[in-house]
Amino acid sequence: MEMRKKLLVLTILELIFILLLGVVSGVALGSNPHFFIPELFGPQMGIAVFLLSVPITGFIAVAQGNAEFAFWHALFSASGIAVSLTGAILAAYGTAIGKALKEYYLGIGNNTTAFGTTDTYESWIMAAPVICMISCIMITILLPFSYFSVVNASKTYPMNNQLIN
């Protein structure tokens, strides 16, 4: 597969999972703070905002065919690996907390009156951190491919100012 197409596919996949992480974190932050701890979902939102630099530079590199932006994309991909891995660990911790909070929520009794929630809220208590964890894991898997696609292409072909076609 040519370099430009490979980078475009990886960038689109990364953007999908980063947006999923950001949207779920944002919705969880806006949900009931008794069950969605801001100290857990706030950093997830920050991670998603930082990771947006990866697809932004990837799309610019592909659109302009610019090797400099391709290398910036590789740089942000490399640093994003550590950030997304941290987010996955934090989300795994949130999943364990979410399980305990779900049991607490179900044990209260009349949940909809006590907290102003709906009948399906107990599913969302578990789903939010699990979706964040899966998103972070997928991002952690995709980022090395972005990094190595740019770095390996630079070793194979001269990348002066044009991205490999």
Task: Give the model confidence (pLDDT) of 38-48 as tens digits.
Answer: 888 899 999 99
More confident residue, 34 or 7: 7
Angle at 26 between CA 22 and CA 27, to 5 degrees: 120
Averaged over 140-146, what is the pLDDT?
94
104 vs 106: CA distance, rounded Å: 5
Name the average pLDDT for the chain. 84
Confidence label for 162 from pLDDT (cuts 50, 70 and 90): low
Q: What is the pLDDT of residues 71-128, one digit of tens each?
A: 899 999 999 999 999 999 999 998 888 888 777 777 776 655 555 565 666 777 788 8
The one-character DSSP state at 162 is B
- How far is the C-alpha of 1 from the C-alpha of 139, rounded, in Å? 21
Look at the pTM and tell me if it is higher than 0.95: no
